[in-house]
Amino acid sequence: MQLEEYIKKTRADKNILLMTHIVLGYTSLEVNREVIRQMVENGVDLIEMQIPFSEPMADGPVIVKANQEAIETGTKVRQCFDFAAEMTAAHDIPFLFMTYYNILYQYGVEQFFKDSKKIGIKGFIIPDLPPEEGEEFFRLSREYGIDPIMIYAPTSTEERMKYLAGYGSGFIYCVARKGVTGKQTDFDKDFGSYMKRCRNSTTMPLAVGFGISSREDVETLVGIADIAVIGTKTIKVVEEEGIDAVGSFISSLR
C-alpha cells in the first residue's frame, strides 16, 4: 500500500531511512512544530506522532514522563488531530499516529480512522493491540487505506512473525530488544539472528527501534533494516540542549 511504496521509492536514493518519534503536547505543540520543522529540513523520512495516554505500558521513563506532562498541561486528542492536520499540510513526508488502543476506543474507532484519513495520516502504531483483539481495527484499516504497522519482538517466533505480517501493511516495526523504550541496545549476535528471522518472515520494509541514539547505531542497521527509528533520544536532545539542537542532531545521524 501507500507507505510501502514510498519507502521503497525513497530507499532507492538512501541506504537507510530515518523515522523520528515525538510526543504531541510535550513540552507544547509549539515546541513540536519547531522540532518537526527541523527534523524535516534535516532529512527525516517519516515521523510518528504519539498521542499521549495516561497508561503508556510499553514506554520507558523518558516517554512516560513526556506523556504524563503533555496530559497535565491539557493536551486533548482533538488538538492532536488539528495539529497533525497542520503538519501533514506543511510537510511533504508521511506522518503516522502512535498511541494506545484506549485513545481510539474512546474517540470511536471508526471516527478515528475517518478523521485520520481526512488529514492525511498514513499509518497507525498501536503497541497494545495484537491481531487477536483488533478485528474491527484491521478491517477498518483496509477500508480506509491507513497502514496498520505490526510490531515484531525478539521473543516472536518466525511462525508468529508470519502471522503478524498477514495483518499488517506499510512496514514492520522491529523492536530491537526486550524491555521498554529508551534504554541502550546491544547489537549482538542474537540481534543478527533476530533480524534474519524478521527478514525471512516478510517482504515488507523493516524498521528498527528502541535504543537507537547515534550515528554508529544507524550505521549498524544499514543493510539490515530499511528504517532506523529515533525515539527517546530526540526528546533527550530537546530537554538537554534545547530545540535548536534537533537539526544538527538529526543531520549527524547519517
Partner 1 sequence: MTKTGYYGNWGGAFIPEVLYETFRELNTAFEQAKKEPAFWQEYTDLMSTYSCRPTPLTHAENLSRHFGGAQIYIKREDLNHTGAHKANNVMGQGLLVKRMGKKRVIAETGAGQHGVATATMAAKFGFDCTIYMGEEDVMRQRPNVFWMEKLGATVVPVTSGSKTLKDAINEAFRDWVTDMDDTHYVMGTVCGPHPFPEMVAWFQSIIGMEARKQILSQFGSLPSRVFACVGGGSNAMGVFQGFLDDADVELVGVEAGGKGLESGQHASRLAGKDGSAGVAQGYKTMFLQDGDGQMCDTHSVAAGLDYVGVSPILTDLWEKRRVRFAAATDSEVMDALELTMKKEGIIPALESTHAFVQAFKEAGQLNEKQAILINMSGRGDKDIFTIANAFDDPSWKEFIIGKGAEYAA
Q: What are phi and psi of 99, to 5 degrees?
A: -165, -175
| Residue type for position 164 | L
Instruction: Count CA atoms within 13 Å of residue 97 on its CB side.
Output: 28
| 176, β-bridge pairs | none
- 29 sits in which H/E element: helix 29-41
Site string for partner 1, 201-240 (x = CB under 8 A): ----------------------------------------
Decide whether 127 or 247 has the Cβ nearer to partner 1.
Answer: 127
| 174, β-bridge pairs | 152, 208
Q: Which of residues 61-100 bind partner 1 (CB under 8 A)?
A: 61, 64-65, 68, 71, 76-77, 100
Q: Please report whether residue 188 would count as binding partner 1 according to CB under 8 A.
A: no
Are the CB atoms for 63 and 231 separated by under 8 Å? yes
Which among 150, 218, 213, 209 is positioned nearest to 180, based on CA atoms?
209
Is 48 a residue of the active site?
A: yes
Q: Please report whether residue 127 would count as binding partner 1 according to CB under 8 A.
A: yes
Task: Tell me the window of 57-65, 89-97, 117-125, 243-251 that interacts with partner 1 (CB under 8 A).
Answer: 57-65
Active site residues: 48, 59
Contacting positions for partner 1 (CB under 8 A): 53-58, 60-61, 64-65, 68, 71, 76-77, 100-103, 105-107, 127-130, 132-133, 150-157, 160, 164, 175, 178-180
